[in-house]
Structure 1
Amino acid sequence: MHIISTFDHSIYLELAITEIEMKGIKKENILAIPIDKRNEDIRLFDSIHSSDGLSLLDLPSILAVICGIFGEIYGFVLKWGPFLWGLIGILIGIVLGLTIKLILIRKSKNKSKDRRGTEVVLIIECTDTQSDMIKSILWSNRALGVSSLSLNKN
């Protein structure tokens, strides 16, 4: 029987492996494989086939409408009139929104690079009688997921 589990790369993985070895499972029957994560940069524009969930134009659109309305309102008092001040307000809103959004995206990209840890897949070969004990050890050491695979040798 094989027990398969996933862990974040942390001290809990080492504790689980040590505890399993202390329960009588040999080192040769334990396999830990680190999984590499994709290091793709965040794209500014989404394609029709993929999206990262970040919208670049939501904040600029909202600020363009708000600044355009204020430009129209105050344009009745100012020299160039409401139409031109409305267009100026729209342009100011778009530039301000894009600037804020790009700064926020850049900060979130830096934070996501810091938080990226690797996951480790742990595969343990054991007997059917040891499987429940090993599963409880894995769960008590903060495993992300645990599954078992029974290979019948007929």
Structure 2
Amino acid sequence: MQIFATFEYSTFIEIAITELEEKGITAIYAVPLDLRKKEPRLLDNIHRADGLTFIDKGMVFAFLLGTIGASKGFVWQGGPIIWGIAGAILGFLIGVSLNWFIYLLKRNKKQLQLKKGKKGEVILIVTCEDNLASAVEDILWDHKALGLARTR
């Protein structure tokens, strides 16, 4: 039977491996995962989307300022169509720049967290007999495993 577990890299995984070796389990394989080296792509395409968008606030502000511009355009020189389009363009630019500013603030906070010591994860693969599986699972859970799976 094989048991797969993921851990955040810490001393807990070392202690868990030591306890498993004391139980007589020697078929233990630990694989550290690499951290992302490059920043994720900023713009989405049709095949990949990460939920980050820059035009949502832009569309809302374009609607708001376009409506205000069109209604005021009946009074102002140039007419409602010109002022509606101008308000929509201005609102879109305001919304996109606001989203861009918020993105830059969040990105800088995430980079600071990475510099403070964000650790990678480790996958631990333990091969054992069926009768030891529950004891192995208990040891792994007791040492703060993030997730666990059992296969035959």
Tell me if both proteins adopt one fold, taking TM over 0.5 as the criterion: yes
- Deviation readout 1:26-61 (Å, 9 max, x if unpaired): 5xx322111124445343432222222222221111
Corresponding position of 1:135 = 137
Q: CA deviation at 1:110?
A: 4.1
Aligned-pair RMSD on alpha carbons?
2.6
Whole-Å separation in 2 of the counterparts to 1:75 and 1:105? 34
Number of matched residues?
148
Distance 1:42 1:104, change over 3 A: farther
Corresponding position of 2:56 = 58
Q: CA deviation at 1:135?
A: 0.8
The runs of 5 or more residues in structure 2 that have no matched partner are: none
Corresponding position of 1:95 = 93
Whichever residue aligns with residue 35 of structure 1, its letter is: L
The runs of 5 or more residues in structure 1 that have no matched partner are: none
SS at structure 2 position matched to 1:31: strand
Distance 1:139 1:34, change over 3 A: same
Corresponding position of 2:70 = 72
Corresponding position of 1:10 = 10
Corresponding position of 1:47 = 45
SS at structure 1 position matched to 2:62: helix
Scaled by the length of structure 1, what TM-score is found?
0.76
Scaled by the length of structure 2, what TM-score is found?
0.77
Equivalent positions of 1:113-152 (< 5 A) are 114=113, 117-150=119-152
Q: CA deviation at 1:67?
A: 0.7
Corresponding position of 1:30 = 28
Q: CA deviation at 1:95?
A: 0.9
